[in-house]
Amino acid sequence: MSHAVAAAIALALLEPERWRSGVRASLESFEGLDAESRTAIGRLVKSLYVRPEVDELAALIARDPKVTLRGVIPRRWALPPLRMTRPPYGAPPLPTPADLAAFLDVEVGELSFLADPKGWNTDARRQHYRTRWVPKRRGGRRLIEAPKARLKRVQRKVLRGILDPVPLGAAATGFAPGASPSKHAARHSGKRWVLKMDLADFFAHVGSGRVRAIFETLGYPLAVRRLLVGLCTTRAPAELLLDADPVERALHGRRRLPQGAPTSPTLANLAAAPLDHRLWNLAARLGLTYSRYADDLAFSGDRMPESLIPRIAAIGIEEGFPLQLRKTRRMGRAVRQELTGLVVNADPAPRRESYDRLRAILHQAALDGPAAANREAREDFRAYLRGRIEWVAGGRPQRRAKLDALFARIDWS
């Protein structure tokens, strides 16, 4: 851990605009770095006349007897920066925009058009997203931005080729290989107390600056980073915000992650790594278990201190992820403890109402045909039903057998 912290400090110090002139500003993003360590690092940097590599400077910092790295948290870096001389985690080396275009199988001109790094494509007819406001169940509304086919194809290549190999922290249980709501819920099953909290507008709070930091940590040069950031972020057209309130205008009027792009979940997870790190440590100090599924935070244990909620909220604000405190639920064993739609008082399982509702839909589809049962006009109703069966029957063989039998009776012809 100390090596990763030293590498993060070295990376911050070696940013071009800060090298040797902005040591104090660079170190402000590290929590727990004492005054003696800051002074020692500043003296070390001033003694270097040739710009070192990141790993060289990290080794010097880690070996300095006056620098204490225990308990230091690199709050502003999305990933632990290990070796920056070549892209870590198997990310492909892409030194120029032409290399990036070849990797994504597009022409350089099309890449620039899709990324729009300078924000010139303001004409609504040239926007690369289909946008709409949808109401939230508990009031308010959410902006959905679905990328059009050309951009979505490129974003998927960025996801598979660059972002998927990057490991996530142990706290993140959503939008990752092998992750699932049931695994998130299983960590908190059978506990005396369960605390559920929600992050507000999770994707919208990840601005282009955080996304840029992720690709910088992966070692990509400035010109390539700008294009990658442009491909993965967007700004809402002005006409879409005419009736927006001040909060919506502030969130969506800047470049940030769109809700609907295939790259957004993974980038949001990476951007939330410092938040997860601090909350994981807080939970460990209190003897609690912590995990996060997308924007759902969960804590569980034998006790739940009253001071925990304001401490979590304060950390969320400091890390740029405010919470929706009105959706906070502190659940003891005497009530139904529910996380991501699963009841966790014992082994995680969907509520009985979910099973009954799905069984009724399957029964109607078997009697009257799938068209009559598809009241929400889902595009691929068959795939939707299979997904719901997997969800509702997870870990319950008897439920699965009954639901599979009903599904087999449906005439899809």
Which residues have CB under 8 Å from 45's CB, separation 6+?
A: 13, 20, 23
Q: What's the mean pLDDT when you consider all of the chain?
A: 82
pLDDT at 124: 42
- Residue 271 pLDDT: 92
- Decide: 81 and 54 in contact? Cβ < 8 Å: yes
Lowest-confidence region among 214-223, 267-276, 334-343: 334-343
Per the structure block, which two tokens stand in for 44? Answer: 């070390």
Joined together, the tokens standing for residue 360 give 């009724």
Please give the C-alpha separations between residue 131 and each of 142, 223, 295, 372, in angstroms, as whole numbers.
10, 28, 21, 29
Q: What is the pLDDT of residues 65-121, one digit of tens each?
A: 888 888 787 665 434 443 334 556 677 888 888 889 999 999 988 898 898 876 655
What is the Cα–Cα distance from 195 to 176, expressed in whole angstroms? 23
pTM over 0.85: no
Of 258, 269, 199, which is closest to residue 231 (Cα–Cα)?
258
Cβ proximity of 275 and 312 under 8 Å? no
Q: Which residue has the tokens 């059009």?
A: 148
CB 115 within 8 A of CB 121: no
Q: How far apart are CA 254 and CA 230, in angstroms?
A: 12
Best mean pLDDT range from 44-48, 151-155, 402-406: 151-155
How confident is the model at residue 256, as a pLDDT? 92
DSSP codes, 38-72: HHHHHHHHHT--SPPPHHHHHHHHHH-TT---TT-
